[in-house]
A and B are shown apart, each in its own frame.
Chain A
Amino acid sequence: MGLLSKKDAKLITDPLADNNPITIQVLGICSALAITAELKASLVMGIAVLFVLGIGNVVISLMRNIIPSKIRIIVQLIVVASLVIIVDQVLKAFAYELSKTLSVFVGLIITNCIIMGRFEAFALGNGPWKAFLDGIGNAFGYAVILLVVGFFRELLGSGTLFGIPVLGDPIEKTGLYSTGYENNGFMLMPPMALIIVGLIIWVQRSRNTTLIED
């Protein structure tokens, strides 16, 4: 790590595990429930958040000394909303097919509490480079959990991964389905995402007991 000092590197690695935005900070739960029914949507959302949080954190960090504290939340909201809308418009004009896939996520990104949470907790008090690393780190931490949840929900709920059948054909009864196995349709419902996130939190805290609060 020649590029990053130890402290800077920690900004990226911490949110991946010990300070994960979803399992430790409990931010961004709503979108984690909404879009993890399949892996592809989880991946797209992860990338979109990476993009917005990286840039947004830098913008807020650059403005941190001139933002009046009384209206800082509104200012943060305006920054993230206009950022997302501009990206959406540019994609609609020059990459229409891509924008069709992403437009569903636009509303979810603006209201994602991870973004506001990181603006408020980190970008307002740190320089742009650190804020950028923090944004990237948290977005990765978010994406990792999304992918884990998406993996289990899609595999157990539809028997596919990235839309490709991996357990055989449920209608023709081939592969695993010939033994009487059935897809669990309940996995596709949002509550199951909450249960899987709960299980991840349980596993994580039992492996690292310092995370348990009294």
Chain B
Amino acid sequence: MSTNTDTNKYTILFAIAMVVVVGSLLAFTASSLKPNIQENERMEKQQNILYAMGINENGATDIKFIGTDKVAGEFSKYISKQLLINADGSSEENTEAYLIDVKKEQAKAKNGGTRLLPLFVGQKEGESFYIVPIRGKGLWDAIWGYVALNEDMVVQGAFFDHAAETPGLGANIKQRYFMDDFVGEKLLSDNGDFKGITVAKGNNDPKNLIKDDYEVDALAGATITGDGVSAMIKSDLKLYLPYFKNLKNQLN
């Protein structure tokens, strides 16, 4: 090459050209793939919600969602109502509640606005499931999940996911053995106060047989992620307490 690549002029021109080329390449990729990605994310939400109420294709120890080909059908079959909860516990239907971005709603609440609280009512074999989306912070990035409750706020199923927790450590909140530990745990004390569930180290209950201790066994090497799970359960599920109080009154 005869061009002198060390001159300032060449360096600046090269930098500008590189930025333009790479920038447009990335912008083109992102915008042309956006519809596919959004569709995938929409189906994933439906899969997660169904997973929490036990509609999945799990084997003995693995996690398998309902296939993407039939998820839309199963979602409309099992999810009978999608609600938005008001602060006083009353609710209104909204058929697109599952598309609400919990992250944006949390930011709204932080800035003094009112947060939309979505809740999904599922029906399976004559039983009702009340599925609540939650979101919080792990060690590196966001963690979130869906918790299926019954009328007494006892956990019927849980699904957790994360953006960037450490593989092998914090990322294990997405494992069956961790999620399944939550099943049967209570959120309320006997007189109806909200207690939450704590991911606890050394609770002498590794098999998680004691279901009324408000604790599940923590993951080794994932203290901060585990604390994040406890925190998001406490802060987000608590907001739904008025709805469940109303529900209880109506049923009695």
* A interface residues, Cβ below 8 angstroms from B: 34-38, 41, 44-45, 65-71, 74-75, 78, 82, 85-86, 89-90, 92-94, 96, 103-105, 107, 154, 157-158, 171, 185, 188-189
A82 & B169 in contact (Cβ 8 Å cutoff): no
B167 & A93 in contact (Cβ 8 Å cutoff): no
Which one of B30, B168, B171 contacts A89 once the chains associate, using CB atoms below 8 Å? B30
Is B111 part of the contact surface with A, judged by Cβ < 8 Å?
A: no
Q: How many A-B residue pairs have CB under 8 A?
A: 90
Is B191 part of the contact surface with A, judged by Cβ < 8 Å?
A: no
List the B residue with the shortest CB-CB distance to A36.
B168
B33 & A171 in contact (Cβ 8 Å cutoff): no
Specify which chain B residues have a CB less than 8 angstroms from the CB of A96 in the assembled complex: 40, 44
A78 & B22 in contact (Cβ 8 Å cutoff): yes
For the complex formed, measure the closest distance between the CB of A89 and the CB atoms of chain B, giving whole angstroms.
5
Which one of B14, B25, B33, B40 contacts A67 once the chains associate, using CB atoms below 8 Å? B14
A35 & B25 in contact (Cβ 8 Å cutoff): no
Q: A34-B166, A68-B14, A78-B18 are in contact. Are A93 and B40 (CB under 8 A)?
A: yes
Which one of B30, B33, B167, B221 contacts A35 once the chains associate, using CB atoms below 8 Å? B167
Among B5-13, B75-83, B147-155, B235-243, the one that faces the other chain is: B5-13
**Size bin of chain B's contact surface:** 20 to 34
A185 & B220 in contact (Cβ 8 Å cutoff): yes
Given contacts A66-B5, A92-B37, A154-B168, 13 further A-B contacts (CB under 8 A): A37-B221, A38-B167, A41-B171, A66-B14, A68-B6, A70-B11, A71-B11, A89-B33, A96-B40, A96-B44, A171-B206, A185-B221, A188-B220
Which residues of chain B from 138 to 197 have any CB-CB distance to chain A below 8 Å in the complex? 163-169, 171
List the A residue with the shortest CB-CB distance to B61.
A163
Q: How far is the CA of A107 from the CA of B163 in the complex (A)?
A: 11
Is B1 part of the contact surface with A, judged by Cβ < 8 Å?
A: yes
Specify which chain B residues have a CB less than 8 angstroms from the CB of A66 in the assembled complex: 1, 3, 5, 14
B33 & A93 in contact (Cβ 8 Å cutoff): yes
Q: Which of A44, A70, A103 has the most chain B CB within a 10 Å cutoff?
A: A70
Q: Which of A34, A68, A93, A189 has the most chain B CB within a 10 Å cutoff?
A: A68
**A–B complex contacts, Cβ < 8 Å, 16 sampled:** A37-B168, A65-B5, A66-B3, A66-B5, A67-B5, A68-B6, A68-B10, A68-B14, A71-B14, A74-B15, A75-B18, A82-B22, A89-B37, A103-B163, A185-B221, A188-B220
Which residues of chain B from 1 to 56 have any CB-CB distance to chain A below 8 Å in the complex? 1, 3, 5-6, 10-11, 14-15, 18, 22, 25-26, 29-30, 33, 36-37, 40, 44
Is B207 part of the contact surface with A, judged by Cβ < 8 Å?
A: yes
* B interface residues, Cβ below 8 angstroms from A: 1, 3, 5-6, 10-11, 14-15, 18, 22, 25-26, 29-30, 33, 36-37, 40, 44, 163-169, 171, 206-207, 220-221
List the B residue with the shortest CB-CB distance to A41.
B167
Q: A66-B1, A171-B207 are in contact. Are A41 and B168 (CB under 8 A)?
A: yes
A71 & B1 in contact (Cβ 8 Å cutoff): no
A-B complex: 10 closest residue pairs judged by Cβ atoms: A37-B168, A41-B167, A93-B36, A38-B168, A188-B221, A68-B11, A93-B33, A96-B40, A65-B1, A185-B220
A89 & B169 in contact (Cβ 8 Å cutoff): no
Q: How far is the CA of A70 from the CA of B168 in the complex (A)?
A: 40
Q: How far is the CA of A65 from the CA of B36 in the complex (A)?
A: 38
Q: How far is the CA of A67 from the CA of B11 in the complex (A)?
A: 8
Q: How far is the CA of A157 from the CA of B33 in the complex (A)?
A: 41
For the complex formed, measure the closest distance between the CB of A6 and the CB atoms of chain B, giving whole angstroms.
30
List the B residue with the shortest CB-CB distance to A90.
B33
Which one of A37, A68, A71, A157 contacts B167 once the chains associate, using CB atoms below 8 Å? A37
Specify which chain B residues have a CB less than 8 angstroms from the CB of A103 in the assembled complex: 163-164
Specify which chain A residues have a CB less than 8 angstroms from the CB of B26 in the assembled complex: 82, 85-86
Specify which chain A residues have a CB less than 8 angstroms from the CB of B206 in the assembled complex: 171
Specify which chain A residues have a CB less than 8 angstroms from the CB of B5 in the assembled complex: 65-69
Q: How far is the CA of A92 from the CA of B32 in the complex (A)?
A: 12
Specify which chain B residues have a CB less than 8 angstroms from the CB of A71 in the assembled complex: 11, 14-15
Q: A69-B6, A89-B30 are in contact. Are A37 and B11 (CB under 8 A)?
A: no
